[in-house]
């Protein structure tokens, strides 16, 4: 009824085709203006990125999933840059945590290793209390939601319990830590970095992982718009499985043994072996240089003009993402 009042008394609202034509006309009319503004926007962004980088000293960053992989490398890098680092580890007695503690011993006070299971609310609250009690002079600057898990298997091969676990770690875990630390990030106008993946755009036999990464992308989109002043960032790594421990090679025998009898009646061992070989081949081609991703994460934290998304991937992987974004679904599915 509000829309009809705005149209005006005695006039019928335009037909759907007329409205569509008007919208298209407005879009085309604005196109020249957008083309004129684009170079100015790009130039402004370049000037901002060439400005002085952030001074790390006296700023705190919390990172989840520091036992190994990107989180471990990032904790070491940020500590050496001068940040105060709170490194969350699932196993604080493990080798990765011990290495971080040895690093901390060289400069007592700027590296703190803590137990942090992102699926446990009390762990997250304990982490917040620890950060609050040891904040450096410039406060809390960054939250890096890095913790994640991966697996392989077609939809029917995985039990509901595994879906719940993956959602709890990869999606709800990041949301849980974000909600806990938002007040601090607002206060100090800090930044949040999320770890997504190109697998958010297409699947390669690990739909359960793809599902959680697609969901975290949408969560980030909403949060970024709502918290622009905090510079919320999303990092998109490519195939870096060989540089982390998130996805070890899969065993066809183990997959077969875990299938239900109903699934075994549908699939045979030869098919399972074929799919496992396919997935392991993809893993074997992944980059071993995890520092490429860490470089992007550091830039998201220290750059005067950080990007909203960092697509750290090979050209082939970037092309796959672009195809997925532009091709009609039925065409993409047939390729």
Strand order in the sheet with 140-145: 111-115, 84-89, 60-63, 140-145, 191-195, 233-237, 309-312
Q: What angle do CA 22, 28, 29 make, to 5 degrees?
A: 85
Contact between residue 190 and residue 141 where contact means Cβ atoms under 8 Å apart: yes
Question: Considering 209, 240, 267, 330, which one is annotated as catalytic?
Answer: 209
Question: Which residues face 310 on adjacent strands?
Answer: 235
Within the chain, residue ranges assigned H as helices are 2-7, 16-49, 69-81, 95-105, 121-133, 160-166, 173-188, 207-226, 252-258, 261-264, 269-284, 291-302, 315-326, 329-334
Three-state DSSP state, 198: helix
Report helix angle 291-302 to 69-81, nearest 10.
50
- Residue 209 a catalytic site member: yes
Both ends of the chain: CA-CA distance in Å? Answer: 47
Q: How far apart are CA 190 and CA 139, in angstroms?
A: 9
Residues with catalytic roles: 209
């Amino acid at each position: 009824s509000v829309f009809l009042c705005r149209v005006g008394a005695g006039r019928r609202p335009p037909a759907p085709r007329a409205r569509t034509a008007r919208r298209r006309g407005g879009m085309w009319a604005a196109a020249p203006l957008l083309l004129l503004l684009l170079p100015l926007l790009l130039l402004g962004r370049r000037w901002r990125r060439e400005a002085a980088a952030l001074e790390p000293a006296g700023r705190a960053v919390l990172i989840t999933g520091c036992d190994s992989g990107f989180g471990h490398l990032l904790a070491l890098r940020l500590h050496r840059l001068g940040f105060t680092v709170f490194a969350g580890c699932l196993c604080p007695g493990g080798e990765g945590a011990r290495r971080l503690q040895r690093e901390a011993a060289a400069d007592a006070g700027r590296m703190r290793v803590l137990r942090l299971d992102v699926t446990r609310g009390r762990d997250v609250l304990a982490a917040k209390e620890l950060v609050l009690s040891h904040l450096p002079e410039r406060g809390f600057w960054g939250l890096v939601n890095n913790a994640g898990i991966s697996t392989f298997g077609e939809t029917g091969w995985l039990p509901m319990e595994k879906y719940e676990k993956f959602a709890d770690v990869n999606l709800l875990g990041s949301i849980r830590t974000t909600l806990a630390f938002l007040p601090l990030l607002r206060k100090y106008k800090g930044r949040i970095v999320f770890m997504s993946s190109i697998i958010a755009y297409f699947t390669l036999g690990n739909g359960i992982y793809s599902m959680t990464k697609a969901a975290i992308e949408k969560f980030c989109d909403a949060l970024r718009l709502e918290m622009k002043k905090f510079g919320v960032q999303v990092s998109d790594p490519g195939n870096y499985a060989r540089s982390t421990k998130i996805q070890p090679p899969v065993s066809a025998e183990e997959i077969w043994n875990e299938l239900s009898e109903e699934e075994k009646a549908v699939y045979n061992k030869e098919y399972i072996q074929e799919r496992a070989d396919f997935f392991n081949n993809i893993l074997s081609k992944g980059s071993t240089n995890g520092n490429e991703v860490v470089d992007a994460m550091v830039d998201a934290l220290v750059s005067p003009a950080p990007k909203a998304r960092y697509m750290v991937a090979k050209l082939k992987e970037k092309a796959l993402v672009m195809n997925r974004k532009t091709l009609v679904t039925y065409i993409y599915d047939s390729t």
